[in-house]
Amino acid sequence: MKDVLRQVLELSHELGREQRGLAILGEGNTSARVDDECFLVKASGSSLATLSEADLTLCSFRRVLAMFEMEGLSDEDVDEHLMRSRLQENSRKPSVETLFHAWLLTLPGVAFVGHTHSVAVNQILCSPRAREFATKRLFPDEIVCCGAASVFVPYTDPGLELARAVRHGVEGIYFSAQ
């Protein structure tokens, strides 16, 4: 676990470096698969640039993923379930984005997830051309690094509904390509 911990901290610090403009005010989240049972995720309210071991929360895949099948959960219910997903009782509250991080980490070949709120990308995604930008490749290296397709998820409030929208979008791209 120490190697995974070191790697997710390095990823977080790189994504959070202010001069890169990827994480507005330290926003965004990172996560890492530890094994088939658990994963590390950035704690709510922590900054990518200054993330420390204490700012990572070890969570149960089973407990987090179970929320996808639950109906009628309020934001408070989701928060309660996230707190129960922690495997170390004294650890901090996992980010509300933990839900889609957990699901993405179950995909074959995915060991780390880093998502940011890039200033430049947000400028485009807040424009009328957002879908066009997100669904087309401009450069060959994009295909090599990011694959042939992207998932465009229109704005959705954070939490369970966003996680479900991410899962639905990824399933549409990922599983249709197989």
Q: What share of the chain is helix, strand, coil (3-state, %, to 5)?
A: 50, 15, 40
Domain count within the chain: 1
What is the per-residue pLDDT for 177?
53
Indicate the pTM of the whole model. 0.88
Angle CA 72–78–82, to nearest 5: 150
What is the per-residue pLDDT for 174?
63
Report, as ranges of residue numbers, the positions in the chain whose pLDDT lies below 70: 25-26, 146, 174-178
The string of pLDDT tens digits covering residues 125-170 is 888 988 888 777 777 777 777 677 778 888 888 899 999 999 998 8
Decide if 69 contacts 44 (C-beta within 8 A): no
Domain boundaries, position 59: 2-174
Short-list 54, 55, 91, 99, CA closest to 75: 99
Residue with tokens 């200033």: 119
